[in-house]
Protein backbone atom coordinates (compact mmCIF):
# COMPACT_ATOMS: atom_id res chain seq x y z
CA UNK A 1 0.00 0.00 0.00
CA UNK A 2 1.33 3.43 -0.88
CA UNK A 3 0.97 6.50 1.26
CA UNK A 4 0.88 10.04 -0.06
CA UNK A 5 -0.64 13.50 0.24
CA UNK A 6 -0.22 13.67 4.02
CA UNK A 7 -1.64 16.81 5.54
CA UNK A 8 -0.06 19.26 7.93
CA UNK A 9 -1.48 20.83 11.06
CA UNK A 10 -1.88 24.59 11.34
CA UNK A 11 -0.06 27.16 13.41
CA UNK A 12 -1.83 28.38 16.54
CA UNK A 13 -5.59 28.11 16.31
CA UNK A 14 -5.95 28.98 12.63
CA UNK A 15 -6.29 25.38 11.43
CA UNK A 16 -7.18 22.11 13.04
CA UNK A 17 -4.01 20.15 13.76
CA UNK A 18 -4.20 16.82 11.96
CA UNK A 19 -0.91 15.29 13.11
CA UNK A 20 0.01 14.36 9.54
CA UNK A 21 3.30 15.35 7.98
CA UNK A 22 3.66 15.93 4.21
CA UNK A 23 6.01 13.33 2.79
CA UNK A 24 9.44 14.69 1.79
CA UNK A 25 8.21 18.27 2.23
CA UNK A 26 11.62 19.97 2.31
CA UNK A 27 13.08 18.34 -0.82
CA UNK A 28 9.76 18.81 -2.64
CA UNK A 29 9.86 22.55 -1.95
CA UNK A 30 13.51 22.71 -2.93
CA UNK A 31 12.74 21.03 -6.24
CA UNK A 32 9.65 23.16 -6.91
CA UNK A 33 11.37 26.40 -5.79
CA UNK A 34 8.23 28.55 -5.19
CA UNK A 35 8.71 32.17 -6.29
CA UNK A 36 6.62 35.33 -5.88
CA UNK A 37 3.91 36.06 -8.50
CA UNK A 38 4.08 32.56 -9.99
CA UNK A 39 1.26 30.01 -10.39
CA UNK A 40 1.57 26.39 -9.24
CA UNK A 41 -0.70 23.39 -9.59
CA UNK A 42 -1.05 20.86 -6.78
CA UNK A 43 -2.70 17.94 -8.54
CA UNK A 44 -3.20 15.84 -5.39
CA UNK A 45 -4.42 18.27 -2.72
CA UNK A 46 -5.34 15.75 0.00
CA UNK A 47 -5.54 17.84 3.16
CA UNK A 48 -3.49 20.68 1.72
CA UNK A 49 -0.04 20.01 3.15
CA UNK A 50 1.89 20.85 -0.01
CA UNK A 51 -0.44 23.65 -1.16
CA UNK A 52 -0.10 25.39 2.16
CA UNK A 53 3.69 25.00 2.21
CA UNK A 54 3.96 26.48 -1.29
CA UNK A 55 1.76 29.45 -0.39
CA UNK A 56 3.77 30.08 2.78
CA UNK A 57 7.07 29.88 0.88
CA UNK A 58 6.27 32.66 -1.61
CA UNK A 59 3.67 35.26 -2.53
CA UNK A 60 2.30 33.03 -5.28
CA UNK A 61 -0.96 31.34 -6.28
CA UNK A 62 -1.88 27.65 -6.18
CA UNK A 63 -4.48 25.84 -8.23
CA UNK A 64 -5.23 22.72 -6.16
CA UNK A 65 -7.10 19.69 -7.49
CA UNK A 66 -8.53 16.60 -5.80
CA UNK A 67 -11.19 14.11 -6.86
CA UNK A 68 -12.23 13.31 -3.28
CA UNK A 69 -15.21 15.43 -2.11
CA UNK A 70 -14.02 15.03 1.50
CA UNK A 71 -10.75 16.74 0.58
CA UNK A 72 -12.58 19.61 -1.07
CA UNK A 73 -14.83 20.07 1.94
CA UNK A 74 -11.93 19.98 4.41
CA UNK A 75 -9.93 22.37 2.25
CA UNK A 76 -12.42 25.23 2.51
CA UNK A 77 -10.69 26.33 5.71
CA UNK A 78 -7.49 26.88 3.77
CA UNK A 79 -9.36 28.67 0.99
CA UNK A 80 -10.83 31.06 3.54
CA UNK A 81 -7.37 31.73 4.96
CA UNK A 82 -5.51 32.28 1.69
CA UNK A 83 -8.35 33.84 -0.27
CA UNK A 84 -7.79 34.22 -4.01
CA UNK A 85 -4.25 32.81 -3.72
CA UNK A 86 -5.69 29.28 -3.35
CA UNK A 87 -8.05 27.98 -6.02
CA UNK A 88 -9.46 24.59 -4.95
CA UNK A 89 -11.27 22.46 -7.54
CA UNK A 90 -12.79 18.99 -7.41
CA UNK A 91 -11.52 16.91 -10.30
CA UNK A 92 -8.96 14.36 -11.44
CA UNK A 93 -5.36 15.42 -11.96
CA UNK A 94 -5.45 13.68 -15.32
CA UNK A 95 -7.85 16.45 -16.38
CA UNK A 96 -5.50 19.26 -15.32
CA UNK A 97 -5.35 20.73 -18.83
CA UNK A 98 -9.11 21.29 -18.90
CA UNK A 99 -9.22 22.40 -15.26
CA UNK A 100 -6.40 24.90 -15.70
CA UNK A 101 -7.99 26.42 -18.78
CA UNK A 102 -11.36 26.71 -17.02
CA UNK A 103 -10.07 28.21 -13.76
CA UNK A 104 -7.42 30.53 -15.19
CA UNK A 105 -9.44 31.52 -18.25
CA UNK A 106 -6.70 30.41 -20.62
CA UNK A 107 -6.79 28.38 -23.80
CA UNK A 108 -6.60 24.64 -23.17
CA UNK A 109 -2.98 23.46 -23.15
CA UNK A 110 -1.44 26.92 -22.97
CA UNK A 111 1.79 27.12 -20.92
CA UNK A 112 0.51 29.14 -17.97
CA UNK A 113 1.98 27.26 -14.98
CA UNK A 114 5.33 27.74 -13.26
CA UNK A 115 5.25 24.44 -11.41
CA UNK A 116 3.28 21.22 -10.96
CA UNK A 117 3.50 18.89 -7.96
CA UNK A 118 1.94 15.42 -7.79
CA UNK A 119 2.06 13.38 -4.59
CA UNK A 120 0.73 10.03 -5.72
CA UNK A 121 -1.08 7.33 -3.79
CA UNK A 122 -3.76 7.36 -1.12
CA UNK A 123 -3.85 10.15 1.46
CA UNK A 124 -3.55 9.59 5.19
CA UNK A 125 -7.13 10.78 5.88
CA UNK A 126 -8.42 8.30 3.30
CA UNK A 127 -6.31 5.53 4.78
CA UNK A 128 -7.23 6.32 8.36
CA UNK A 129 -10.99 6.15 7.76
CA UNK A 130 -11.88 2.46 7.85
CA UNK A 131 -15.15 3.05 6.02
CA UNK A 132 -13.27 4.20 2.91
CA UNK A 133 -11.90 0.67 2.51
CA UNK A 134 -8.30 1.51 1.62
CA UNK A 135 -6.66 -0.26 4.56
CA UNK A 136 -6.27 -4.00 5.03
CA UNK A 137 -5.41 -3.32 8.67
CA UNK A 138 -8.82 -1.86 9.56
CA UNK A 139 -12.19 -3.48 8.99
CA UNK A 140 -14.43 -1.35 6.82
CA UNK A 141 -16.54 -1.33 3.70
CA UNK A 142 -14.71 -2.82 0.70
CA UNK A 143 -14.85 0.42 -1.26
CA UNK A 144 -11.51 2.09 -2.24
CA UNK A 145 -13.11 4.78 -4.45
CA UNK A 146 -11.23 8.06 -4.15
CA UNK A 147 -14.00 10.03 -5.84
CA UNK A 148 -16.67 8.15 -3.84
CA UNK A 149 -18.52 7.27 -7.04
CA UNK A 150 -18.43 4.56 -9.67
CA UNK A 151 -17.29 0.96 -9.40
CA UNK A 152 -16.06 -0.20 -5.98
CA UNK A 153 -13.61 -2.89 -4.94
CA UNK A 154 -16.55 -5.01 -3.80
CA UNK A 155 -18.06 -4.76 -7.29
CA UNK A 156 -14.83 -6.08 -8.80
CA UNK A 157 -14.26 -9.04 -6.48
CA UNK A 158 -17.94 -10.05 -6.52
CA UNK A 159 -18.73 -9.76 -10.23
CA UNK A 160 -15.53 -10.04 -12.28
CA UNK A 161 -14.45 -13.40 -13.66
CA UNK A 162 -11.62 -15.37 -12.09
CA UNK A 163 -9.37 -14.56 -15.06
CA UNK A 164 -10.14 -10.83 -14.86
CA UNK A 165 -9.41 -10.69 -11.14
CA UNK A 166 -6.18 -12.62 -11.59
CA UNK A 167 -5.07 -10.25 -14.35
CA UNK A 168 -5.78 -7.17 -12.21
CA UNK A 169 -3.82 -8.56 -9.26
CA UNK A 170 -0.90 -9.61 -11.44
CA UNK A 171 -0.67 -6.45 -13.57
CA UNK A 172 -1.45 -3.76 -10.98
CA UNK A 173 -0.17 -5.51 -7.86
CA UNK A 174 2.66 -7.55 -9.39
CA UNK A 175 1.25 -10.41 -7.34
CA UNK A 176 2.92 -13.65 -8.45
CA UNK A 177 0.22 -15.83 -6.91
CA UNK A 178 -2.63 -13.85 -8.42
CA UNK A 179 -4.33 -16.95 -9.86
CA UNK A 180 -4.41 -18.65 -6.46
CA UNK A 181 -6.00 -15.60 -4.88
CA UNK A 182 -8.50 -15.11 -7.71
CA UNK A 183 -9.55 -18.75 -7.52
CA UNK A 184 -10.08 -18.49 -3.76
CA UNK A 185 -12.11 -15.28 -4.17
CA UNK A 186 -14.46 -16.81 -6.73
CA UNK A 187 -15.02 -19.89 -4.58
CA UNK A 188 -15.64 -17.88 -1.40
CA UNK A 189 -18.06 -15.39 -2.96
CA UNK A 190 -20.45 -18.20 -3.93
CA UNK A 191 -21.31 -18.56 -0.26
CA UNK A 192 -20.87 -15.02 1.07
CA UNK A 193 -20.32 -11.92 -1.11
CA UNK A 194 -17.33 -9.73 -0.16
CA UNK A 195 -18.47 -6.55 1.59
CA UNK A 196 -15.72 -5.91 4.17
CA UNK A 197 -11.98 -5.29 3.93
CA UNK A 198 -11.39 -7.86 6.65
CA UNK A 199 -12.99 -10.59 4.53
CA UNK A 200 -10.61 -10.00 1.65
CA UNK A 201 -7.59 -9.44 3.84
CA UNK A 202 -8.15 -12.66 5.78
CA UNK A 203 -8.73 -14.69 2.62
CA UNK A 204 -5.53 -13.44 0.97
CA UNK A 205 -3.58 -14.07 4.17
CA UNK A 206 -4.94 -17.61 4.28
CA UNK A 207 -4.01 -18.25 0.64
CA UNK A 208 -0.50 -16.81 0.84
CA UNK A 209 0.36 -17.45 4.47
CA UNK A 210 2.87 -15.32 6.33
CA UNK A 211 6.48 -16.26 6.87
CA UNK A 212 8.14 -15.64 10.26
CA UNK A 213 9.63 -12.16 10.34
CA UNK A 214 7.76 -11.05 7.22
CA UNK A 215 7.10 -7.31 7.49
CA UNK A 216 4.82 -6.75 4.50
CA UNK A 217 1.22 -7.84 5.01
CA UNK A 218 0.20 -10.63 2.59
CA UNK A 219 -2.73 -8.56 1.30
CA UNK A 220 -0.60 -5.51 0.43
CA UNK A 221 -0.31 -6.24 -3.29
CA UNK A 222 -3.96 -7.28 -3.64
CA UNK A 223 -5.24 -4.06 -2.08
CA UNK A 224 -2.82 -1.97 -4.13
CA UNK A 225 -3.93 -3.64 -7.35
CA UNK A 226 -7.64 -3.13 -6.70
CA UNK A 227 -7.13 0.50 -5.72
CA UNK A 228 -5.02 1.31 -8.77
CA UNK A 229 -7.50 -0.40 -11.09
CA UNK A 230 -10.67 1.09 -9.61
CA UNK A 231 -9.34 4.66 -9.59
CA UNK A 232 -7.46 4.34 -12.91
CA UNK A 233 -4.50 5.91 -11.11
CA UNK A 234 -1.82 4.97 -13.62
CA UNK A 235 -3.90 6.15 -16.57
CA UNK A 236 -4.49 9.43 -14.74
CA UNK A 237 -0.75 9.71 -14.10
CA UNK A 238 0.09 9.35 -17.79
CA UNK A 239 -2.51 11.97 -18.73
CA UNK A 240 -1.09 14.35 -16.12
CA UNK A 241 2.48 13.88 -17.33
CA UNK A 242 1.41 14.59 -20.91
CA UNK A 243 -0.43 17.70 -19.77
CA UNK A 244 2.62 18.95 -17.88
CA UNK A 245 4.51 19.28 -21.16
CA UNK A 246 1.94 21.71 -22.52
CA UNK A 247 1.00 23.55 -19.32
CA UNK A 248 4.45 24.39 -17.94
CA UNK A 249 6.22 27.52 -19.08
CA UNK A 250 9.91 27.24 -20.04
CA UNK A 251 11.72 26.98 -16.72
CA UNK A 252 8.61 25.56 -15.04
CA UNK A 253 9.15 22.60 -12.75
CA UNK A 254 7.47 19.20 -12.57
CA UNK A 255 7.84 17.44 -9.21
CA UNK A 256 6.37 13.97 -8.66
CA UNK A 257 6.45 11.90 -5.47
CA UNK A 258 5.99 8.17 -6.16
CA UNK A 259 5.48 5.29 -3.74
CA UNK A 260 5.77 2.04 -5.67
CA UNK A 261 7.53 0.60 -8.70
CA UNK A 262 4.66 0.83 -11.20
CA UNK A 263 4.09 4.57 -10.89
CA UNK A 264 7.79 5.33 -10.38
CA UNK A 265 8.66 3.44 -13.56
CA UNK A 266 6.18 5.51 -15.56
CA UNK A 267 7.45 8.82 -14.18
CA UNK A 268 11.10 7.80 -14.65
CA UNK A 269 10.55 6.75 -18.27
CA UNK A 270 8.59 9.89 -19.06
CA UNK A 271 11.24 12.20 -17.66
CA UNK A 272 14.13 10.26 -19.19
CA UNK A 273 12.52 10.18 -22.62
CA UNK A 274 11.58 13.85 -22.51
CA UNK A 275 15.10 14.69 -21.31
CA UNK A 276 16.67 12.83 -24.23
CA UNK A 277 18.12 10.10 -22.05
CA UNK A 278 16.92 7.19 -24.20
CA UNK A 279 19.66 4.68 -25.01
CA UNK A 280 20.72 4.36 -28.64
CA UNK A 281 19.30 1.32 -30.37
CA UNK A 282 16.38 0.96 -27.96
CA UNK A 283 12.85 0.27 -29.08
CA UNK A 284 12.13 3.96 -28.51
CA UNK A 285 14.73 4.98 -31.11
CA UNK A 286 15.32 2.00 -33.42
CA UNK A 287 16.56 4.00 -36.43
CA UNK A 288 19.90 5.62 -35.67
CA UNK A 289 19.47 7.87 -38.71
CA UNK A 290 16.40 9.51 -37.19
CA UNK A 291 17.16 12.80 -35.47
CA UNK A 292 15.62 12.68 -31.98
CA UNK A 293 13.46 15.59 -30.81
CA UNK A 294 15.00 18.27 -28.66
CA UNK A 295 14.56 17.54 -24.92
CA UNK A 296 11.38 19.07 -23.51
CA UNK A 297 12.65 18.62 -19.92
CA UNK A 298 15.94 18.79 -18.09
CA UNK A 299 16.32 16.44 -15.12
CA UNK A 300 17.14 17.94 -11.74
CA UNK A 301 18.58 14.61 -10.56
CA UNK A 302 19.16 11.52 -12.66
CA UNK A 303 18.20 9.03 -9.95
CA UNK A 304 15.58 10.98 -8.06
CA UNK A 305 15.56 11.63 -4.31
CA UNK A 306 14.63 9.13 -1.59
CA UNK A 307 13.84 9.74 2.08
CA UNK A 308 16.75 10.35 4.42
CA UNK A 309 17.17 8.55 7.74
CA UNK A 310 16.00 11.72 9.50
CA UNK A 311 12.87 11.85 7.34
CA UNK A 312 12.15 8.18 8.02
CA UNK A 313 12.48 8.67 11.76
CA UNK A 314 10.02 11.57 11.68
CA UNK A 315 7.65 10.13 9.09
CA UNK A 316 7.79 6.32 8.58
CA UNK A 317 5.24 6.60 5.75
CA UNK A 318 7.96 8.10 3.55
CA UNK A 319 9.92 4.83 3.52
CA UNK A 320 9.07 3.97 -0.10
CA UNK A 321 8.74 7.53 -1.39
CA UNK A 322 10.91 8.90 -4.18
CA UNK A 323 10.95 12.37 -5.73
CA UNK A 324 11.54 12.79 -9.44
CA UNK A 325 11.78 16.33 -10.77
CA UNK A 326 12.51 18.07 -14.06
CA UNK A 327 12.56 21.57 -15.54
CA UNK A 328 10.65 22.42 -18.71
CA UNK A 329 12.75 23.62 -21.64
CA UNK A 330 11.70 25.75 -24.63
CA UNK A 331 11.45 22.70 -26.92
CA UNK A 332 8.18 21.41 -28.32
CA UNK A 333 6.31 18.71 -26.33
CA UNK A 334 7.40 15.14 -27.09
CA UNK A 335 4.26 13.40 -25.77
CA UNK A 336 5.47 9.76 -25.44
CA UNK A 337 2.77 7.10 -25.59
CA UNK A 338 1.50 5.23 -22.55
CA UNK A 339 2.91 1.91 -23.80
CA UNK A 340 6.36 3.45 -24.09
CA UNK A 341 6.10 4.57 -20.46
CA UNK A 342 5.12 1.14 -19.19
CA UNK A 343 1.41 1.79 -18.66
CA UNK A 344 -0.03 -1.64 -17.78
CA UNK A 345 -2.91 -3.11 -19.75
CA UNK A 346 -5.50 -5.63 -18.54
Q: Tell me the residue range of the domain where 238 lies.
A: 3-124+233-341
Judge whether 305 lies within some domain.
yes
Q: Say yes or no: 85 and 168 in one domain.
A: no
How far apart are alpha carbons 87 and 202 in whole angstroms?
42
Residues facing residue 325 across a β-bridge: 255
Q: What is the pTM of this model?
A: 0.89
pLDDT digits 0-9 by tens, 313-336: 777 777 789 999 999 999 999 999
Which of 183, 202, 230 is the C-terminal boundary of a domain?
230
Look at residue 142 and tell me if it is in a domain: no
Q: Is 242 left (phi over 0), alpha (psi -120 to 50) or beta?
A: alpha
The CATH number covering residue 24 comes to 3.40.50.150
Give yes or no: residues 43 and 188 share one domain: no
Domain annotation covers residue 132: no
The residue from 191, 208, 230 where one domain ends is 230
- The domain tally of the chain equals 2
The closest of 332, 249, 321, 257 to 296, measured between CA atoms, is 332
Beta strands in 75-170 (DSSP E): 86-90, 113-119, 122-123
The pLDDT of residue 282 = 53
Under a CB-based contact definition with an 8 Å cutoff, are residues 85 and 9 in contact? Answer: no
In whole angstroms, what is the distance from residue 322 CA to residue 21 CA? 16
- Of 205, 230, 255, the residue at which a domain comes to its end is 230
Q: Is the pLDDT of residue 28 over 60?
A: yes
Q: Residue 128's pLDDT is what? A: 77
- Kindly state whether residues 218 and 249 are assigned to the same domain: no
Say yes or no to pLDDT of 62 above 50.
yes
**Do residues 41 and 76 both lie within one domain?**
yes
87 plus 164 within the same structural domain? no
> Are 65 and 24 found together in one domain?
yes
pLDDT in tens, 134-162: 888 889 999 999 999 999 999 999 999 99
- Residues 204 and 191 reside in one and the same domain: yes
Q: What is the 3-state secondary structure (H, E, C) of 22-66?
A: CCCHHHHHHHHCCCCCCEEEECCCCCCHHHHHHHHHCCCEEEEEE
Q: Does 226 share its domain with 113? A: no
Specify whether 220 is located in the same domain as 265: no
CA separation for the pair 100, 94 (Å, rounded)? 11
Using DSSP bridges, classify how beta strands 113-119 and 3-4 pair: parallel, antiparallel or unpaired: unpaired
Q: Which of 40, 28, 31 is nearest to 119 (CA)?
A: 28
φ/ψ of residue 206, rounded to 5: -70, -40
200, 337: one domain: no
> pLDDT per residue over 237-262, tens digit each?
999 999 999 999 999 999 999 999 99
pLDDT (0 to 100) of residue 281: 45
Cα 214 from Cα 315, distance rounded (Å):
21
Judgement on whether residues 224 and 239 belong to the same structural domain of the protein: no
- The verdict on residue 19 lying in a domain is yes
Q: Residue 155 maps to which CATH number?
A: 1.10.150.170
- In a shared domain, residues 310 and 206: no
**Beta bridge mates, 119:** 257
How do residues 186-240 score in pLDDT, each as one tens digit? Answer: 999 999 999 999 999 999 999 999 777 777 899 999 999 999 999 999 999 999 9
Exposed, middle or buried: residue 345 (CB in 10 Å: 0-12, 13-18, 19+)?
A: exposed
Give a yes or no: residue 138 inside a domain.
no
Dihedrals phi, psi of 63, to nearest 5 degrees: -100, 110
Judge whether residue 61 has pLDDT over 70. Answer: yes
Amino acid sequence: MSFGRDAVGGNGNTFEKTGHIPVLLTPVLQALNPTDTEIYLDGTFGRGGYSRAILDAADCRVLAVDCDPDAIKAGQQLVSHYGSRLMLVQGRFGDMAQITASVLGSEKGMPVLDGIVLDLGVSSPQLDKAERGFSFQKDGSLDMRMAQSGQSAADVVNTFSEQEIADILYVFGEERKSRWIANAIVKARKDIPFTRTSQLSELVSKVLGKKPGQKKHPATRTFQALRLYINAELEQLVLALMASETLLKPGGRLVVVTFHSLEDRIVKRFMNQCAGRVAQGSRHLPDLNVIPPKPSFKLLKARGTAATEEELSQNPRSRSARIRAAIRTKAAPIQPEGKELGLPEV
